Structure 1
Amino acid sequence: MNRLVLILLISLLVGGRAGAGPIRISDLTEPYDLYKASELLEVRAGSVSVDELLQNPGRYRFVPTENRLIKPYDHQFGYWFRFQITNETDREVFMQFIYAGTEFIRVYETVDNRILTLHKLGSLQPEPAAPFRKSIQFCPIQARNGQTHTFYVYMEGVYTGVLPIYALSTTRLIESQHYSDLFYGIYYGFILIIIVYSLVLYIRLREQGNLRYAIWVFFIGLLMALFRGHTSEFFWPANPSIERYSAALSSVTGVLHILFTLTFLRLRLQAPRFYKIGIGIVVLYLISFVLNVANVSLNYQLGRQIDIVPVVVLLEGTFSIMAGLVTLRKGFRPALFYIAGNLFFYIGIFVFLMYTYGQLQFSFWTYESIHLGVGVEILFFAVALTYKVNLLKKRRQEAEQEQIRLLVENKRLVSEQNAMLEQKVQQRTEELQAAKQRSEELLLNILPAEVVEELKRTGRSKPRRFERVTVLFTDIVNFTSMGERLSPEELVSEIDYYYRSFDAILSQYRIEKIKTIGDAYLCAGGLPVVYPENPVEVVRAALEMRAFLLRNQHERQANGQQHFEFRIGVHTGPVVAGIVGDRKFAYDIWGDTVNTAARMEQYGEAGKVNISETTFRLVKEQIRCSYRGKIAVKNKEALDMYYAEELVAVGIPGAVEETD
């Protein structure tokens, strides 16, 4: 009696599901899940046509659709789905198949056992006219205005137990595809950037790991595009049969991943045993590649697709993480990012498998879990490569520094041995040769270009007299007392900071730096190339030096730091310039003009540009000056002196226009 009641209950449940009413579409803002509301019939592939279903409906027993009833990768079976749709609106509605990997999909819309429309979809369905449908599997529904139509959907060549089918409006279809295009556009753009970045690293460093990584990223991106129908859409929409070799592409991607792992983790040196295991996994991938190609070429005559890739992928995942841990324990820190990338990849695979077997609901995160896992893996691998590149650079620099140290040490030892073994004359000859070589290298840094050319032509430089040269002297105020408060290193660093800034200012003008003497800085304009504007240019440079010194003073005072103060003096007149001596020669200038410029500096004030009357007469039209009066000068008559204040000439950058 109890058994009879149980049988009746089961019959009522099955009958209630089979006789359920049609799916009623009334709200166009919502998608309708057709897959869950459908009934399923498993048949031998191609053995039952839609006409037989329409003519003999009682002969075939449809059952409620369940994920467990679908056998992925088994090409001996096909699946019929049946459901009814009542479109209570007057708008067009579309049927969308989310998963783009099913090979053949036939959608029959019927009414009164009569076929209204037939739509052919699927990854292996040629689409020369509308290639975008390779990645967007959809078709229109004719029913509207309360019409109820029965749909028969036949699928063959399925690769997952979850086949989401939705009915949705035009707006929802466009919206979903918009977000899909946005996601995949960003995704493939990210992959392209990583490929270019890796190739640039390879070209610069010639590191094989970067090249193998770029190739692997390309193929994994190609595989991800193949999973979503994008390869067929963009490359071969009219002849998509090559899509059947997707499992073979998975094997190629696995081989490239292993080769990258062997190179990146340096397993041949760090873990030889793991290196051999990696080679073994490569062999397994090659075997799976041959099996997949053979099975597809024989048109699946072997029945269920022979695919050992999932097993090899699981083996590879274990191998990759363990190899990463071994190298990480040996101090190779980039392996940490490598391990993290692999973990995210296999988490993505696990989530997708849970989804395909019906354990997780369809959503963006479950459907795109593999793509997201691969994206994060690529990102972590890129970080790991960058970490490794920086590590290699650091080690290379350390090696170069050690080499330099050894070279210096060797040179010292050789010099000591030479000092003991060679005669004094030979030692002096070597010193002269070394000095000559250094002179050649430093020549352009210490002499004007015109003087260098003269030396090259004649072997010597004749002194020349220049009638109008503007000489600038600058000196640090209270240098001795301030220097006592600083260590030698700090003192040299401070002077170097100021004089480098002066050099930068002079580089903007035709001014020649002559020399530095302790805390004094000497330069001149109007030589060795003569130009009449040299007084203005030198005074302008002096004003820029003063502006720099004032800014520096304010900044350091605000930070509670000490600073140097400078006096600047300028004078214009004739000088003699040239090179004297045979060794350690330098370009120098002589004459009373130089002495007078030094007096201008000595009798000026800190933070001021003190110029002579001669210079004033030459710059007064362009530079506003203030007269100081006659100043008594040691060993000279009293001299008229002026403070240069600012530029006033129209048309000079940085000048201030005078107004009446």
Structure 2
Amino acid sequence: MFKKWFKYIAFLGVDTNHLDDISPLKIINILVLMINVLLIAQLPLIGWFWQYSGIWVLLNSCIHIPLFFSVLLLNKYGHFLSGRALFMLAYISLISVSSLAWKTNLHFHFFFLVALFVSPFLYQAWEYRQVRINLFIYFCCYCGLEFYWLNRLQKNNGVTIEETILTLGNTLFLFLAALISCTLVHQNHRLAYSRATHHKAKIHQVLFKTLPERIINKLLDSSHKVNTSIPAQYHFGSVLFIDIVDYTQFCHNTDKQKLIKVLDTLYQNFDTLALQHGLEKIKTNGDQYMAVCGVLEAQACPSITCCRGAMALLASVQKTNQQLNIQLEVRVGIATGTLICGIVGRNSYAFDVWGDTVNRAARIESNGQIDRIQVCQSTYELSNHLLAFEPKTKINAKGLGTIDVYVLSA
């Protein structure tokens, strides 16, 4: 039960899906919980040692308990900056008043030394100015309270001024040593955060070039689970295949370095145009390029979008031929219907699309005309009011039998 409540309070206002938000907020929540537990536990002791405490110590505890609970409420409702500011003020007020209210020196002001080492972790790495201001306030409070008790001790016990100066100098030296250590800790924290941010940006850059953004977000949201695969989902959309004609012969007659350059140039152009025309690249398989439309982002008419994107891809092939002085020829096939998409397995994630619509598009492409865009019956019916097609023909598709196809007019 206690563990459950501790976890609940520690994660108040923390977005568990974004680890960058955890550190400062979670630490403040835990500190608030610890301080309130100590203040509540201190209440019986105040009565037991009333001759040393008195009414002011009791009022101090009773006022600061709800103040610290208010920090938790602010964090819970997303007011992190206000919660942190209230926490700092309440902490400084609690230590200062406790040092002055007790009739004996319990060295409460040494808690400012503890605050020195905690402070760097209550701020984000870029908030170095706020950290410096906070450390300066702790320094002033510590020195003021130390001087107050030394001066009081000197009056009561007749301590010489030389002893006071030596004691004050020694405590100041201790505080400065702690301050230097704290500064080094903060600098190391900033450096570690900077490195982590840099590496995270690189990882995200690779991820976004490998998988669609929505799929990445789903994987990250479910990264704490054992099975992070994304189950198959059904969508209505269009799928496109574009394939290089006589690719094997082209590879045999082309230098390896030039072959890599040709494919890289061709697929880079395809990727750029696919993004511009609302297509989502699925994969490349040597000489074959596959893209879909209407699966990850809703499209009013995915068949029209896919056809127009295919026209742009076909035009880019001619541009690549002129640019690299080659003679590539391609076939393009498009089908529209129900698509099954998702990620299966645990390692080497790959987003893919399956179903009869995919098989139909592949068969239409393999039986297509060179440098022409061939589509299925459903694509034609959904697009012919805006796009022009040549008269219907029939093809014998492996595994599908005879199907009707249409060629998109240039």
Give the alignment's TM-score, normalised by structure 2: 0.48
- Specify which structure has the higher proportion of helix: 2
Give the alignment's TM-score, normalised by structure 1: 0.30
- Specify which structure has the higher proportion of strand: 1
